[in-house]
Amino acid sequence: MASKQRILILGATGQTGKSILHALVAEPESFEIEALVRPSSADKPEVKNLASQGISKIHVVDISGPIDELVRVMTGIDVFISGIDATSQLAQLQLVRAAKQAGVKRFVPCAFITIAPPGGVMALRDSKEEVYQEIWRQFLPYTIIDVGFWHQISFPTLPSGRVDYASMITPNINIHAGGTAPNMLVDLRDLGRLVARIIKDPRTLNHFVAAYGDVLSQNEIFSVMEEASGEKIVERKHVSRLKSLGAADKLLDTVRFVQISADEIVSERFEAAAKAKAEADNWFAQARQFLADYNYSKYVRGDNTPTYAKYLGYLDTRELYPDFTPISFKEFAKGLLEGGIERPYERYRERLEKLRSGK
Ligand SMILES: NC(=O)c1ccc[n+]([C@@H]2O[C@H](COP(=O)([O-])OP(=O)(O)OC[C@H]3O[C@@H](n4cnc5c(N)ncnc54)[C@H](OP(=O)(O)O)[C@@H]3O)[C@@H](O)[C@H]2O)c1
* Phi (first) and psi of residue 206, to 5 degrees: 60, 35
- Rounded-to-integer distance, Cα 258 and Cα 269, Å: 16
Residue of 8, 9, 16, 59 to mutate, ligand 1, most atoms within 8 A of C-beta:
16
* Strand pairing class (214-216; 183-186): antiparallel
Give the distance (Å) from ligand 1 centre to CA of residue 83.
Answer: 5
- The residues carrying an active-site annotation are 128
Give the C-alpha separation, 173 to 37, whole Å: 37
pLDDT tens per residue, range 150-181: 999 999 999 899 999 999 888 888 889 989 99
User: Of 196, 199, 143, nearest to 26 (Cα)?
Assistant: 196
Buried b vs exposed e over 315-325: b needs ≥16 C-beta within 10 Å?
Answer: bbbeebbeeee
Distance CA(226)–CA(157), nearest Å, equals 10
- Name the residue with the closest Cα to ligand 1, atom 13: 85
For the chain, 359 residues long, give each residue's pLDDT as a single digit of tens. Answer: 468 999 999 999 999 999 999 999 999 999 999 999 999 999 999 999 998 998 999 999 999 999 999 999 999 999 999 999 999 999 999 999 999 999 999 999 999 999 999 999 999 999 999 999 999 999 999 999 999 999 999 999 998 999 999 998 888 888 899 899 999 999 999 999 999 999 999 999 999 999 999 999 999 999 999 999 999 886 544 444 444 444 443 333 333 333 468 998 999 999 999 999 999 999 889 999 999 999 999 999 999 999 999 999 999 999 999 999 999 999 999 999 999 999 999 877 765 554 444 44
Ligand 1 atom with least separation from CA of 11: 43
Q: How far apart are CA 160 and CA 151, in angstroms?
A: 20
Cα 93 from Cα 103, distance rounded (Å): 16
Q: How far apart are CA 278 and CA 213, in angstroms?
A: 38
Q: At CA 196, angle to CA 192 and CA 201, rounded to 5?
A: 145
Query: Given this model, what pLDDT does residue 260 score?
Result: 63
Cβ–Cβ < 8 Å for 105, 132: no
Closest atom of ligand 1 to 191 CA is 1
Cα 160 to Cα 173: distance, rounded to the nearest angstrom: 13
Q: Using one digit for the tens of pLDDT, what is the confidence trace for 25-60?
A: 999 999 999 999 999 999 999 999 998 998 999 999
Q: Is residue 58 within 8 Å of residue 46, measured between CB atoms? A: no
H, E, C per residue of the chain: CCCCEEEEEECCCCHHHHHHHHHHHCCCCCEEEEEEECHHHCCCHHHHHHHHHCEEEEEECCCCCCHHHHHHHHCCCCEEEECCCHHHHHHHHHHHHHHHHHCCCEEECCCCCCCCCCCCCCHHHHHHHHHHHHHHHHCCCEEEEEECEEHHHCCCCCCCCCCHHHCCCCCCCECCHHHCCCEEEECHHHHHHHHHHHHHCHHHCCEEEEECCEEECHHHHHHHHHHHHCCCCCCCCEEEECHHHHCHHHCCCCCEEECCCHHHHHHHHHHHHHHHHHCCCCHHHHHHHHHHHHHHHHHHHCCCCHHHHHHCCCEEHHHHCCCCCCCCHHHHHHHHHCCCCCCCCHHHHHHHHHHHHCC
The set of protein residues with a Cβ atom below 6 angstroms from ligand 1 is 10-11, 13-17, 38, 41, 63, 83-86, 88, 91, 110, 112-114, 124, 147, 149-150, 153
Q: What is the pLDDT of residue 351?
A: 55
